[in-house]
Amino acid sequence: MKRTESSLSRRQVVELGSLAAAAAALPGVGRTRPDAAPLALPPDQQHFALAETTVAELQDGMQSGKLTSRSITQTYLDRIRATNLESPTLRAVLETNPDALDIADRLDAERKQGTVRGPLHGIPVIVKDNIDTHDKLLTCAGSLALLGNYALKDAGLVERLRAAGAVIPAKANLSEWANFRSTRSSSGWSGRGRQCRNPYVLDRNPSGSSSGSAASASANLCAGAVGTETDGSITSPSNACGIVGLKPTVGLVSRAGVIPISHSQDTAGPMCRTVADVAALLAGMTGVDPRDEATAAAQGHIEADYTKFLDPNGLTGMRIGVRPRNGRIPGADALVGQGLGELRPGQGGRGVGAPRSRWRGRGKRTRSRPPSAAPSRAAVNEGGPNLGDGDQRYREANHRRRQGFPVRPLAGGTRVAPCGAPFRPAATSTRSAASTRWWWRRASGTASRWRRCTWAGAPHRCYRRHP
């Protein structure tokens, strides 16, 4: 499989895209800082031989004799030493496997004898530190409390990766205990590995909890990596590091030998630089495992090769919404525009839809919307082409509130506030309108939040999210 040539590389997109995202969140990030230089590599790593190389390209190189599993593994190990512990100290990898080159030699010998196990034969794959490996690598979930813990048996997915011919050269850093340790934690920090860093914005974390797996794949420390997810621990760091991450359906990949959090949500998944690599790695991980009863439901739904579902024309006819650029990073807007140009007709896409406001529902804001995405006060008051239905309702409700519209009476003494929330007026209250707006009560053992609405001089309690 040949790589499609493009004038815009993944690295360029993520490098400036990460800076733009950081600028949107923190004013002033756009200023040049010495410690925020994207992947400032030592001279011997500036022109990395395997940069952005795909699994298929590595297999083609080994098939032609230009590459061997040993040379590939050695190259990645050198890369890890140059970028992980030395400048720029990504701290994406906790430790390397001293037997990795011996394993690669055995796989090269099998290839010479005519045995190729599959697309992962001889391919280095880094796994997260909460996944058991029965070798000289520790399994600690990033915690110093488990330092010295050597697994007695491979995790189910590691058994399958080894059977598929993968080389496991290292363990990846993570948010300690997969971030199941504190409500005030930093993604990518562990007592064992310290703070993992985003390869493109070194003074930002790479999200988590599969932080090291994402950073390793993004910074070309391996051909692919394995992460785990309960809720966002694969997809979020993949997004932050500009790679492809997949959380499979629970049961498709065995969880046996993976330090758990939730039996109904936990699963491991592939994290790679391309969709094709994710498909190849997924095929080497799936399978029914008697040690994980959830995999029984996957019987009959497991494919030996997921790459056959890849469609080079999969984006044809797609409309993609794009968030308006903020212009805080020089060159970022031009780069985004160049990328959008490659998605337009002639490049596999029908076109890119006009930017849409990210407000949804009946005047409610989505919880995931960052403050910088909110329409301006002028836009809300006056309306405009980028205001959706939710924004229009928000504008109307805001107008009614400013005009002091009285509440409308309904049958049974129930009224409707300008926000549209039905309520019964509070009988008497010792609280003034200027007092706290949030009331709490305890019901069925859980805390429910009441909002006190004081519009039109009629205090009431309701669950609505008011404009």
- Quick check: 432 pLDDT over 70? no
pLDDT in tens, 363-375: 333 333 333 444 4
Spell out the SS3 assignment of 162-197: HHCCCECCEEECCCHHHHCCCCCCCCCEECCCEECC
Residue 42: pLDDT band with limits 50, 70, 90 = low
- What's the one-letter identity of residue 308? K
Residue 362 phi/psi, 5° resolution?
-90, 70
At residue 337, the pLDDT reads 80
pLDDT at residue 181 in the model: 85
Instruction: Give 273 or 407, the one with higher predicted confidence.
Output: 273
Q: How far is CA 69 from CA 55, 76, 105, 254, in A?
A: 12, 11, 7, 26
Question: CA-CA distances (angstroms) from residue 135 to 69, 139, 146, 189, 285?
Answer: 19, 10, 16, 24, 18
133 pLDDT more than 70:
yes
Strands (E), 146-279: 170-172, 189-190, 194-195, 224-229, 244-245, 267-272
pLDDT in tens, 64-109: 999 999 999 999 999 999 998 777 799 999 999 999 999 999 999 9
**pLDDT bracket for residue 424 (50, 70, 90):** very low
Average pLDDT score over residue span 334-340? 80
Query: Average pLDDT of 411-435?
Result: 46
Residue in this structure with the two tokens 């498709």, named with its chain if needed: 252
Residue range 356-361: mean pLDDT, rounded: 40
How many helices and strands in the chain, by DSSP H and E? 11, 18
Q: Are 188 and 212 in contact (CB under 8 A)?
A: yes
At residue 160 the predicted structure's pLDDT band, cuts being 50, 70 and 90, is very high
- Tokens (6 digits) for 26: 């923190």
Greatest mean pLDDT among 226-240, 373-387, 439-453 lies in 226-240
Read off the pLDDT band of 344 (50, 70, 90).
Answer: confident
Q: Spell out the domains of the chain, with CATH numbers in brackets.
A: 33-309 (3.90.1300.10), 358-403 (no CATH), 409-424+452-467 (no CATH)
Band (pLDDT 50/70/90 cuts) for residue 339 is confident
Q: Look at residue 40 and tell me whether its pLDDT is greater than 80.
A: no
350 or 311, greater pLDDT: 311
pTM of the complete model beyond 0.75:
no
Q: Which residues are catalytic?
A: 128, 209, 233
Query: What average pLDDT score do residues 223-238 get?
Result: 96
Q: Which two tokens stand for residue 243?
A: 């790679």
d(CA 357, CA 323): 8
Q: Would residue 130 be called left, alpha or beta, if left means φ above 0 and alpha means ψ between -120 and 50 degrees?
A: alpha
Distance CA 373, CA 344 (A): 25
Top-confidence range, 30-39, 224-233, 356-365: 224-233
User: Higher pLDDT residue, 397 or 139?
Assistant: 139
